[in-house]
Structure 1
Amino acid sequence: MTTAILSALPEEQGSLMHALHGAQALEHAGRRFWRGELYGQPVVLALSGIGKVAAATTATLLAERFGARRMVFTGVAGGLGDGVQVGDVVVARDFLQHDMDASPIFARWELPGYGRARMPCDADLSTTLFEAANAYLAGAAGQSDAMNPTGNAGRAARAHQGLIISGDRFVSTSAESGALRQALGMAGHEALAVEMEGAAVAQVCHDYGLPFAAVRTISDRADDAAHVDFPHFVTHVASRYADGIVHGLLQGLSKT
């Protein structure tokens, strides 16, 4: 079964492409895809680009043209939930588009035609991904800086699982992140992290009946320092997380 591994930016995929055996580069619709074998599993690596439309296009191509039978997104996100700190990992249980609003015809955040606001991830695949994230963080505890990559002194990085929200906007002020948390929380949507692609890929996978899971490493707190923290984290930390967690995921999948 071919697993598609997506990220928005090259750094979010780490050195996975260099670890690919029998790599074959293919171009379609202005995108480059790498097909091969990674840690004993057939995979297709792809960069989705930034934003929901770019991500949806890439996911559709992976399903239609490259025969992907499950998809995994790896990347970074801004932390929203209480206790979700820089350097932590969030595995999605489901996704919501925080900029979807077809009211008053539909309830706010509801996806027209789906009768729901939240798009669930595949439970089994997400469990395997969450286990891989926990194992990576536990293994990194013995390394000098892996558990404290951004200055959270005395606190080990943690894995969380829950709702991630997506929108075509880089949330980078405390006022905006606070307003998002308050509005969503009042409706019962307690978001742990915010990013720009996952909900679109979740919707495409739902339409095609494909298992989907996503892991996001927290690069910032979606606050006034986000524009400073994000580039540093993506360059110096995100690639390490991607390598370790995806490796563990594919090892876990080989046992099923």
Structure 2
Amino acid sequence: MKNDIALIMALPSESKDLFEQAGITVHYSGIGKINAAFTAFDVIQKTGCKTILNLGSAGSSHFNAHELVEVKTFVQRDMDVSPLGFEVGVTPMDEHYPEAIDLDSYFTHLSQGICGTGDSFETGQPKVPCNLVDMEGYALAKVCKKLDVRLISVKYISDGANDTAHLDWEENLLLGATKLLKLYQSI
């Protein structure tokens, strides 16, 4: 299966060079939904992969710190057109994927979560129901759905998405990279 998989992570700091040292190609998207969407499209076009594996960090006040969580559903936590009568998280006039994007499970031994993606570093309670937060996943999911490519996404819970999240995130990245590499090698 690894021959048909392209690995996307947001930042080199999330891999701590462990993947490269193990001879694994990582495509880094950069931070945010626009960078993630562009990278996913580019990687799919250039590699012809059938699956994108997204590994990275996420914040959560629901899951335990240092836990690996497979994303079952992505939602947009920063799509807010409520002044025009739409629910928060709904993309108006998008007939294919206006709200949540569901993924098929792959790692059945991991907890599963609903990830709220947004172009902000979340330190509070998102406006949409979700139990972990990131900054790239929904965009990856939407590109993959539109191009009929499978997306598997696993997040290392690096912080509690609270007022110390920025400190915890940086401190926990090496442990997260180690756990994510071990998971990748189990495929």
Q: Closer, same or farther in 2 for the Cα pair 1:62/1:108, shift >3 Å? A: same
C-alpha RMSD over aligned residues: 1.7
Q: 1:6: which partner in 2?
A: 8
Q: 2:116: which partner in 1?
A: 165
Q: What amino acid is the match of 1:13? A: S
Query: Is 2:151 aligned against 1:215?
Result: no
TM-score normalized with structure 2 length: 0.89
**Does the CA contact (< 8 Å) of 2:66 and 2:176 recur in 1?**
no
User: Following superposition of structure 1 onto structure 2, how do residues 1-256 of structure 1 map, counting pairs within 5 Å?
Assistant: 1-14=3-16, 15-20=18-23, 45-81=26-62, 84-103=63-82, 104=84, 106-112=86-92, 113=94, 114=96, 116-121=98-103, 123=104, 126-127=105-106, 130-131=107-108, 134=109, 159-172=110-123, 177-178=124-125, 180=126, 183-184=127-128, 189=129, 191-234=130-173, 236-248=174-186, 250=187
Mark the runs of 5 or more structure 1 residues left unpaired by the alignment: 21-37, 39-43, 135-158, 251-256
Q: 1:26: which partner in 2?
A: none
Mark the runs of 5 or more structure 2 residues left unpaired by the alignment: none
CA shift digits 1:87-145 (9 cap, x unpaired): 11211001001001233264321133135310111x1xx32xx24xx4xxxxxxxxxxx
Q: What amino acid is the match of 1:232? A: E
Q: CA deviation at 1:239?
A: 1.4
CA distance in 2, matches of 1:52, 1:66: 21
CA distance in 2, matches of 1:111, 1:201: 16
| Count of residue pairs brought into register by the alignment | 181
Q: What amino acid is the match of 1:209? A: D
**Does the CA contact (< 8 Å) of 2:11 and 2:31 recur in 1?**
yes
> More deviation in 97-106 or 54-63?
97-106
Q: Closer, same or farther in 2 for the Cα pair 1:115/1:227, shift >3 Å? A: closer
> More deviation in 96-105 or 198-207?
96-105
Q: What amino acid is the match of 1:169? A: S
Q: What amino acid is the match of 2:5? A: T
CA distance in 1, matches of 2:59, 2:97: 27
| Percent of matched pairs sharing the same residue | 29
TM-score normalized with structure 1 length: 0.66
**Does the CA contact (< 8 Å) of 1:11 and 1:238 recur in 2?**
no
Q: Which has the larger radius of gyration?
A: 1
Q: What amino acid is the match of 2:118? A: G
**Does the CA contact (< 8 Å) of 2:66 and 2:158 recur in 1?**
yes
CA distance in 1, matches of 2:81, 2:143: 19
**Does the CA contact (< 8 Å) of 1:6 and 1:48 recur in 2?**
yes
Q: CA deviation at 1:66?
A: 2.0
